[in-house]
Structure 1
Amino acid sequence: MDSDTIWRHIDTQRTVLADVLETLPDGAWRTPSLCAAWTVRDVAAHLALSHAGLRELLGAAARSGFRYNATVRDAALRSPLSHEQIIDRLRSFVGSRRTVPLVSEKEPLLDVLVHTQDICLPLDIDRPMPTDAAVVALERVLWWSRRFPIGPRLRDVHLVATDVAWETGAGRRVEGPVQWLLLAAAGRVVAHDHLRGELRSLA
């Protein structure tokens, strides 16, 4: 998928999420998300930092000892943005191709696809992913997993999508819709209910 198409998907998914957030009562923002120890509000605040520069993140980085995951968490939890400001920020990103430092356009695509489900699934909101975008995001997760020992064990696993012509890997077979393969690869255990095969390989 070329860069222009990826950015069109990002714009669409940010708009979709902003529309969802706009309908939520205040109590729903406090619902636990699929991200451990993050509420719906925390996940949305994290996505609203998608254009943050080094200066904006410096305080969170210093407080977290310059550890990446801890910096991301601290910045989201301490974000002063109101619900309305989070929604407005997400809408303001549409049409922009800016990313946080040191990442490609595939990271914001992955972020918005997975985090939209982190928000929607606990609230019983059905927002399916576009399959072509989900494939790109899944391949990015696999790219990261080959370089860093984090998340589910994805080596020696044969992943097979049942709703699009895509498969990769060798070993224990795991199959299902690409949306749920992506969520499982991103560490969301709830996805296992929608997959078949050697799910212990994704623990």
Structure 2
Amino acid sequence: MERDTEALWNCAHAERAALARDLASLPGEAWRGPTLCGNWNVEEVTAHLTAAASVGQWRWIRSMVLAGFRPGVHNQRRLEECLGSTPAGTLQEFRAVIGSTVAPSSHIAAYLGEVVVHAQDIRYPLHLPARPGLESLLPVAEFFAARNFTLPSRDNGAGLRLVAADAPFEVGAGPEVRGSLLGLVMCLAGRPAYLEELEGPGVALLRERITRVEN
């Protein structure tokens, strides 16, 4: 289903604002805590989200060229530009891009997905209860199931029947994986922690795929 660009950006802005509210409540030490996003801590993931909302197409191309087309190098350089001198400064930088519509390409559902996934990367280890709205999760789930973009999300779900128990989302054919739409989105994004929200005969295959190399 083709999604309206303005609606997608509105969802991205709402999810950024929700994350900013959560971040504002964190004690200082929590900013150095782990996330579900590799070796990045809470402050680094926040700075990455600021960078993602600040780099347009030509700046992205130039940055990738200078990074030798190594996404990890590009991401680390841009992240470091968006770190404040303190966590409060990093949060201020993030708040400044809440309403941004800057992106390297027209794949807005993918960039909404980046906000959704990284927000949960932060929230899950901190046991923060907030979850993205279904209006944000549905276009992300559709995009992740349909194609690989910055993540092998389509490959992770290939040959499986993915069924949300809390939203009108059913795709694919094969052994069923059923559960929360958030659980499906996060597992398509390669986050094994969210396997606990899923069940069905296809979970074992999904688990094998996303624990082989964690993102």
If the length of structure 1 is used for normalisation, what is the TM-score?
0.87
SS of the equivalent of 1:175 reads: strand
- Identity across the alignment (%): 28
Unaligned runs of 5+ in 2: 210-215
RMSD: 2.4
Which residue of structure 2 aligns with residue 33 of structure 1?
35
1:110 aligns with 2:121: no
Aligned residues of 1:141 and 1:185 also touching (Cα < 8 A): yes
1:166 aligns with 2:169: yes
1:94 aligns with 2:98: yes
How far does residue 192 in structure 1 lie from its aligned partner after superposition? 0.5
Unaligned runs of 5+ in 1: none
Which residue of structure 1 aligns with residue 213 of structure 2?
none
1:136 aligns with 2:139: yes
Aligned residues of 1:174 and 1:199 also touching (Cα < 8 A): yes
How far does residue 66 in structure 1 lie from its aligned partner after superposition? 1.7
1:141-160 correspondence to structure 2 within 5 Å: 141-145=144-148, 150=152, 153-160=156-163
How far does residue 148 in structure 1 lie from its aligned partner after superposition? 8.2
The counterpart of 2:68, out of the listed 41, 60, 65, is: 65
Q: Distance in 2 between matches of 1:80 and 1:132?
A: 30
How far does residue 30 in structure 1 lie from its aligned partner after superposition? 0.8
How far does residue 126 in structure 1 lie from its aligned partner after superposition? 0.7
Summarize the Cα distance change of 1:24–1:148 in structure 2 as closer, same or farther, 3 Å threshold.
Answer: closer
1:193 aligns with 2:174: no
Which residue of structure 2 aligns with residue 15 of structure 1?
17
SS of the equivalent of 1:153 reads: helix
SS of the equivalent of 2:156 reads: coil
Code of the residue aligned with 2:13 in structure 1: it is D
Listed one character per residue, the Cα deviations across residues 35-90 of structure 1 (whole Å, up to 9, x for unaligned) are 1111111110100112124448856753x422224422443256443423332233
Listed one character per residue, the Cα deviations across residues 173-200 of structure 1 (whole Å, up to 9, x for unaligned) are 1010101100000000011111002212
Summarize the Cα distance change of 1:166–1:173 in structure 2 as closer, same or farther, 3 Å threshold.
Answer: same
Q: Distance in 1 between matches of 2:108 and 2:151?
A: 22
SS of the equivalent of 2:94 reads: helix
If the length of structure 2 is used for normalisation, what is the TM-score?
0.82
Aligned residues of 1:57 and 1:71 also touching (Cα < 8 A): no
How far does residue 153 in structure 1 lie from its aligned partner after superposition? 2.5
The counterpart of 1:47, out of the listed 30, 46, 49, is: 49
Q: Distance in 2 between matches of 1:177 and 1:150?
A: 20
Q: Distance in 1 between matches of 2:151 and 2:48?
A: 23
Summarize the Cα distance change of 1:59–1:8 in structure 2 as closer, same or farther, 3 Å threshold.
Answer: closer
Across the two proteins, how many residue pairs are aligned to each other? 200
